Amino acid sequence: MKKIAISFFVFIHVFTFSQKQAEVSLELLDGNIIKGTTSLSDIELVTAFGKLQIPISKVSHIEIGIGKDNSVGEKVKSNLKILSTSNVDETRKGAYNDLVKIGVKAIPFIQDFFNDPKNVSSEDTYTGEYTLDNALSEIQTANNISSDLPKEDILTIDNIYLMGGNYNFTKLDIKTEYGNLSVPKEKIKTIDISVAMEPGSGEYSFKLNATKNISGNTNGGWLKTGVVLKNGQRFSLVSNGEVTLASLSNSKYKPDGSSKTETATEWIKPYGAEDDGVSGGYPSYGQVVYKIGDGSTENLKAGAKFNGTAKKSGMLYISIYETVYNAANKGGYNVKLSLGK
């Protein structure tokens, strides 16, 4: 994890649990996507620093970890010992099959085994098929698990902070357009959450990450603010920061679309920069853009400063304008949203 919001949580424990209606999008380990609505309580996250109670309205994304079930620990460790010491094929076969039967719960212990330097030996002469590497690969393949799946559940809070721990739930009951589904936690890879905020006055802060929040990125490129605007409601967007867009020869950009190449010393403002803050017109690369409504295909220019009114009712989305997405982008923009009535 890149950031741990320790100071952010000083006040969180004073919140009480409350149920809120949320829109969710679940990515399953088998690659399927489930979208719908559910009722969610504020999250109790058990971390290395203690228990935290996190308002569900603060959480935008959850990456489900493998977890560590100590009830299978001794059985896994005994099989690991056999696979690391015995050269008898039949003996190794039994330990290998036992690990595969334990399945996903064996993975954290296997990873710990690999990460322990004392388990690295140059004297291993076994050349058969019943190896620990093969057992791990078979478990991952059977359960559609990638090698980079985290041990802990990782929450994204306020679209900026990451916090790892155990979010203890067994299943999510989702209402979809095709009916009600009950999805077990162990089948879920990620959860995107959006709790609609009450319309009216207020200020909200968001982080647009160039590694993801690019308008041309069809997989989560638009940041869902959770703020539902009413037709005619006033709002403003003020942004700052700097991004490097690998898709544009690693040139640097600012929220108003100003840019400079890797070797340049001066920023160049885009055509129409004098209209920064005026919605409409074609946006320039690197500019902050917005749209209203999930089904909207608009890229409305916001730039570094925008103050205007919503032309229709719907959820507000924001992004960084670029038609091509490259995961090697760097940096991000801080965006402050202010609402009027």
DSSP codes, 85-136: H---HHHHHHHHHHHHHHGGGGHHHHHHHHH-GGG--S-----SS--HHHHH
Residue 149 has a pLDDT of: 78
The answer to whether 132 and 80 have CB atoms below 8 angstroms apart is yes
Residue 166 has a pLDDT of: 94
Instruction: Measure the CA angle with vertex 228, ends 326 and 308; round to 5°.
Output: 80
Backbone phi and psi for residue 95, each to the nearest 5 degrees, phi listed first:
-65, -40
Number of C-beta neighbours around residue 233 at 10 A:
17
pLDDT category of residue 146 using cuts at 50, 70 and 90:
confident
What 3-state class would DSSP assign to 13?
helix
Backbone phi and psi for residue 312, each to the nearest 5 degrees, phi listed first:
-160, 170
Q: Based on the number of CB atoms within 10 Å of its own CB, is 1 exposed (0-12), middle (13-18) or buried (19 or more)?
A: exposed
- pTM score: 0.62
In the numeric block, which tokens belong to residue 217?
Answer: 């990125």
Residue 147 vs residue 136, higher pLDDT: 136
Residue 305 has a pLDDT of: 93
pLDDT, averaged across the chain: 87
* pLDDT > 70 fraction of the chain, expressed in percent and rounded: 89
Tens of pLDDT, residue by residue over 36-77, are: 999 999 999 999 889 999 998 888 889 999 888 889 999 999
